[in-house]
Structure formats: C-alpha cells, structure tokens
Amino acid sequence: MLSLPVASFAMEKNSPQLPQGCPLVLTEFEVPELENRQDLPIDISAIEGDFARPMSVFTGDVVVTRGAQQLKTDLLKYNIDKKHLNFPEPLAYRDAGLFLLAASAEYDLLEESGSFQQVDYQLFSNNSKGRASKALVSKGSQLSMDGVEYTTCQGDDPDWQIIAKNISINAQTGRGIARGAKLEIKGIPVLYTPWLSFPIDDRRQTGFLYPSLGSSNDNGFDVSIPWYWNIAPNQDLTLTPRWITDRGFMLGSQYRFMTARTINSVDIKYLADDDRTGEDRYHYKVSHKGIINPQWKTKLLLNRVSDEDYFFDLGNSLVQSSRQFLRSQVGISGRGKYWGFDLQADNFQILDAEINPNRGPYSRVPQLRYRLDMPINKSRFDFRLDSELVAFDRRAGVTGGRADVLSQLLWTYEEAAGFVQPAIAYRVTQYSLNNNLDFVDNSPGRSNLIASFDAGLYFDRELKSGAQQTLEPRLFYLFVPFENQDDLPDFDTDEMTFGFGQLFSYNRFIGADRQGDANQLTLALTSRTFDSTQGLERFNLSLGQILYFADQKVQLRPGDPVNKAGTSDFIAEASWYPSQVWATRAGLQWSWEENELDVGYAGIDYQSSSRLQLSFEYRYRLDSVDQFDIRASVPISSRWRLMGRWNYDRDEAGTLEALAGFEYSSCCWAMRLLARRYLRNNDGETRTGIYLEFELTGLGILGREPYKLFNDRNF
C-alpha cells in the first residue's frame, strides 16, 4: 500500500521549471459547489429532432447542456419520463474538471451518473490523461475507471504511466486511488502495488510521502520515509523514520497547529544509542507565534540539541554545522502609532567547542524595552525615547541588572532640495551587580550628553539618454563628551562592524554597556541613476569617511589602546544594474594610515530568459576572510542543465564547498544528480554526499534536495 500525499500548509513550487513547449496546466480548474441540477433546465439542440414520448430522438450536432455539464454527439435517444440519455454513437462529455471522449454512453440525469465505454479522458487539475475500457461518472466530480492508463505526460508515447485494474478519481477530495497498479517508465515495469493513492491537486492528504535518499562518507547510506497525517484543516503531523547505516535508527516528528490567531509547531528528532558515539542524540524545537490583537503579539522558541556535535554529525549543511549557539526565547510585544514595547526572556546553548561555557552569552531573564517616537504638536520637533530594563544571568562571572534610558529631541526641516536635522540626547545607564568579583561598586552608572547635526542636499539632472541622475552630499557631526567607563561590566556589547551605515551612528558600540565618546564629522556623497521609462534605479555609488577631531578614549576592555584622532577608513559602495539580466555590486574599506585594504567585496549576477544563471562573489577582510564563491546553472538544451558551486578560502581552509551535477527535465518527469563536498567543522573535516532526486510530474519527488543554489529556486 502506498499513498503519495501533498503535505504542506502552503504549497511550494519545488519542481523544476518545465522546458519550453510543455503544455500549461489548465489553472482554471476549480471544483465548484455542486449545483442542485435536478432543478436546472435541460437544453438540447440538434439539426433534427423527433419529440415522441416517452422516447425522443435527436440527430446531427446534438448538444445537451445542464449547468456545468455538456455532452456532444450525432445521435441521442432521450427518455423524457425517466430523464435517461442514451448515446449509441461516439460522444464528448465535459463537467467540472473533467473531459471524456467515449465510443458510447448512457447517462441518468436524476441519479447524476453515467456509464461510458472505450474512453479517452483528461483531468484539468494536473493535465493528466489516459484511456480506459469503461468509466463511471457520478455527481459530476467522481470518476471510476476500469482497465486504465494514467499519465501526466503529453503525446501518444508517454515516458511514464500507471496501468491499473481500476482508478477512482474524486475531484472534491483531490485524490486518486489506483487498485492493482503498475508503474511503467519507458515501457519498463518498475513498481507494482495493490493499492496506490496519489494527489490530483495541491490539497493536503494523509499518507506516506516520497522517501528521501542520500549517502555520505561519514554516515553511510541515509534514507527517510515520512508519513503525513492530515489531522484537520488547521493541524497536521509528520512522522519521519530515518535509517543511517553507520549510526542507527532515528525518528523525527513534526506537529503543526494553527488557529485564527496563532501558528505553532513542535519538532522532535531522536536517535537512540548512536552506533558511533554510544549516546542518545536528539533535537527538539518548539515554536509559537500569536496575535492577541492588531497591536500585541506573542512568541515562543525552545531550541535544544543533545550535544554540541549534533549538527556536525546529523545535519545536512555548512550553515547548520557552523552554528555557535542555539537560542531559546519567549516574549510579548506591542506596537502603536508612536510607541513600541517588548518583554522577553532568552538563553543560549553553546555549540562551539572553543567557547568556554562559563564565558558564553548571557541569558536575559527578562528584558523589557519601551520605545517612543512622537511629534510634538504640529511643530518640527520630535521626541524619541529608547529605554531598556534587563537582568543578565550566567553560570560564572559577574551578573546583575541594567537600566538604560536614551531620550532625544530632534528638529527636522526638510524640503525637496535637502534637509537639516539637529538633535540633542541624554543617556543614563545604571547597574545593580551580583557576584561582583571584578568591580568595586555594586551600583555603577553612567550618563552621557549626545549632540548631533545631520544635513544633506539633493541635486538632480537629466542625462542625454533621458535618465535621471542625482547627487546627494551629506554631513553628520557627532559630539559625545568622554566619560570613563572602565568600571562598567560588559554584558552584551561589542564593537560595531565598520560600514557605510556606521558613518551616521551615534555610537560605535552595539549594546548599552559602552557609549563611545566622539568629536567627529562624517562627509558622505551618494549618486543614483534612474532610467527614464520605469523609474528603476540602475546605478548607485556611495562614498564616505569620518574625520576624528579628538582621540576616542572609551574602549570595550580596560587597557585597550586609544583610537587616535585622524580619519576613519574610507568607505565606498556601488551597485550597477545595466539590464534586467545583469546585476553587479562592489564595496571597499580602505585604510589611508596603513595604506591597505581592510574590507572588500565584489559580485556579479546574470540570469537570462533562457534560464542561464551565473553568480560570482569575492569577499575579503584583513586577517580573517579571503574567499570567493562561484555558482552556475547552465542549460545545455531545453531539457538538460548543468549546475555547480565552488566556495573557496584562499588562506588556510581551502575548498569550503564544492557541488556539481546535472538535471534532466521533460514535460512529465525530471531527474537531478548532484555530488557535494563541504567543510564539516572547524577541524577541517569534510563531508562528501551524493544526492539523487527523481520526480514524476503529478505524482511527487523521490530523493533529497541539498539546498537552494540560488534564492529563486530549489536544487
């Protein structure tokens, strides 16, 4: 027994793009609420008619219509009293989602049922078609056929088909059931099953999903066979038995539950007595998102694994294996016209073996934030408030609470030619510390005055090509007096990664434990070009640098060297869209003092109408990153496509990931074969896997997708 359901709350288009020339699915197919056809009039037109009672005979271009039903033939015998139609000659029948050609037929209008002989049929829901020796139609949406051939392939010689003793199609439930079924591919029998359930549309159904197959050098053969239970329209459960030859049997389960105001899921995976480690392995994830009303929302996330190597051993991607932490959180948030409120608690499970558990991130138990951004009457003044109250906890080290309040008054003048925005703010931060081993004062605090002046101009001109070009100079002055903060702890603060956005930030630190002192001026220039037809941005360039008029004395850790007065790194970012198929981007961060490149990146993407996709990206950061990433999806014909990726580190790691394979896709089936090798952990261990994916259009997918090669499609 085999059931092939569609198992998702929202269907995703995972199948490959069909080659050119393939017929489109008739998307107008929608099963309507069946009419009370007994009360509907029967319309019969013909060239000639004999209206004798009880049997009337019509000949020549006979058309019978009742509601959504329509029958066409050259000879009709109609029993008026019994409302029985007899078609001794070939006919065409059409109803909601169904079309039949038959050698002969009888149809009872009162019983809503008919018998058709020697039938060619088509279902509009998935473009399936075939032949049958006999077909029984009832209620306009139910079809039972004997001696059946079924396929979604077009043409007289299908690549695959199901041959069955009987197939029942129910358009109201969206399912087909085949009995005594045999699957043939290219005329070769590959599967026999006494009972087969398959979808004819995208509705969710209970049953087995297609297996997921894979193989890797460190786990061996890996197969999963999910079973899906469509509990209710708002509930479902997927049980996934998984066998890993080198590790043992694993069971996964995912329960999803929706209400009018919530989305919830419980995901549990468990491997008892791993054959390699001898330990029980598990991962559980509980998720909740709720809406109390349009202003208030709730959230919950519990995310834990049995050990730090779980994703290394049992994950399937570089992204999973490179995780350092798993975060769990619970919270409630509110939003109004001028205000925002968040109350949450969270903690972290450390997955990186190089991080001391006693030095990991703090848990926030809880954190309360309130934000306000409100205009003052109808003036140009705005009042902003950003406040936070949070308690930090950890197994070792200093713990305690922190209160932080930043109040700001802004005045904004903005016209088409530019804007001016001076602002003044006052920030107060106060602590209450426990386990205070490193600090003399249990209640240290800090207060800072923050003054800023932001101004910009807008110039634009029309180029000879008709395009519009802008020139947007901007300056931003920031002044924050120095206050010694060496006696303050560091709970959740770090230096901000320098980039274009930081040129206009009032603090060079992320987090409230440090407020950087500043006496600096940012000079920036942006230019954009828009096309003359659609107004789309085709080119932009942004340049900027900070002039430091005084040393920056506040540092993250006591004893760190002071940043001397002078200039910041020079920032440049650009993107260019020369056409709809090309996109380029580049950026750099250049140190004038050291005369060297600190950060750089460049990328180019190409996507043509012929489905050719190419992508190249280079990333560089001094002393840490020197990588390039190449991705390609190259069609070599209307049905064949090559794909690959090479992500390479030019320093020590070498190849981070390499992938190569091909895809074949016809109008009714597709196959993908991919080989993939990627860095498994920080110790340089790699995993090599083979992924085979086989799809019969209209039935489902057998195999495993490795991941998304490009953002707009799956591979």
- List pLDDT tens digits, range 65-121: 988 889 999 999 999 889 899 999 999 999 877 899 999 999 998 888 999 999 999
Q: Is residue 147 part of a domain?
A: yes
- Is the pLDDT confidence value at 477 over 90? yes
Choosing from 343, 372, 401, the residue where a domain stops is: 372
Arithmetic mean of pLDDT, 432-460: 89
Q: What mean pLDDT comes out for the span 307-331?
A: 81
Report the pLDDT value the prediction gives residue 386, as an integer from 0 to 100: 97
Cβ neighbors of 389 (< 8 A, separation 6 or more) are 367, 368, 369, 401, 402, 403, 404
Is residue 174 located within the same domain as residue 268? Answer: no
**Residue 24 CB contacts under 8 Å (≥ 6 apart), including other chains:** 127
**Whether residue 579 is found in the same domain as residue 671:** yes
**In a shared domain, residues 17 and 79:** yes
pLDDT of residue 584: 97
Contacts for 523 with CB less than 8 Å, ≥ 6 apart: 473, 474, 475, 544, 545, 547
Instruction: Please tell me the distance from the alpha carbon of residue 371 to that of residue 11, in angstroms, as a whole number.
Output: 38
**pLDDT, tens digit (0-9, with 9 covering 90-100), for 347-404:** 999 887 777 767 789 999 999 999 999 999 889 999 999 999 999 999 888 899 999 9
pLDDT recorded at residue 700: 65
pLDDT of residue 36: 65
Mean pLDDT lowest among 193-197, 670-674, 698-702 = 698-702
Residues 648 and 713 in one domain: yes
**Residue 576 confidence class, pLDDT cut points 50, 70, 90:** very high
Query: What is the overall mean pLDDT for the chain?
Result: 87
- Which amino acid is located at 69 in the chain? Q
The predicted pLDDT at position 709 comes to: 75
Task: Tell me, yes or no, whether 351 lies in a domain.
Answer: yes
Comparing 169-173, 241-245, 560-564, which segment has the lowest mean pLDDT? 169-173
Same domain, 631 and 712: yes
Residue with the bigger pLDDT between 200 and 635: it is 635
Alpha helices of 255-379 — where are they, by DSSP H? 310-314, 318-321
pLDDT at 112: 84
* Average of per-residue pLDDT across 289-315: 93
Does any domain span residue 492? no
Q: Both 78 and 225 in a single domain?
A: no
Q: What is the pLDDT of residue 52?
A: 85
CA distances from 46 to 59, 80, 100, 255, 505 (A): 6, 16, 20, 58, 81
Strand 281-291 and strand 113-123: pairing?
unpaired
- Domain range for 126 is 2-195
Most confident of 91-100, 141-150, 225-234, 367-376: 367-376
pLDDT at 331: 97
What local confidence, expressed as pLDDT, does residue 13 receive?
36
3-state DSSP call for residue 411? strand
Of 151, 175, 195, the residue that ends a domain is 195
Q: What pLDDT is attached to residue 196?
A: 81
Distance separating the N- and C-terminal Cα atoms of the chain: 29
**Residue burial 299-327, b: 16+ Cβ < 10 Å; e: rest:** ebbebebbebbbbbbbbbebeebbbeebe
- Asked, for residue 390, whether it belongs to a domain, the answer is no
The answer to whether the beta carbons of residues 297 and 291 sit under 8 Å apart is: yes
Residue 460's pLDDT is: 94
> Same domain for 309 and 363?
yes
- Same-domain check for residues 244 and 114: no
3-class secondary structure, 341: strand
180 and 224 share one domain: no
Answer whether residue 11 shows pLDDT above 50: no
Mark whether 295 and 184 lie in a shared domain.
Answer: no
Look up the pTM and report it.
0.77
**pLDDT computed for residue 248 by the predictor:** 95
Q: Residues of the chain with pLDDT > 70: what percent?
A: 90
Residue 707, pLDDT score: 59
Q: Is 320 helix (H, G, I), strand (E, B) or coil?
A: helix
Number of structural domains (the chain) is 3
Average pLDDT estimate for 27-51: 70
Q: What's the pLDDT score for residue 402?
A: 97
Give the mean model confidence (pLDDT) for residues 618-644. Answer: 92
Same domain, 26 and 172: yes
> What is the band of 10 on the pLDDT scale with cuts at 50, 70, 90?
very low
- Asked whether residue 266 is domain-assigned, the answer is yes
Q: Identify whether 401 is part of a domain.
A: no
Within a domain: residue 498? no
Say what the pLDDT of residue 678 is.
80
Cis peptide before 16 (omega within 30 of 0): no
One domain, residues 90 and 215: no
Decide which of 542 and 580 is more confident. 542
CA 610 to chain centre: 24
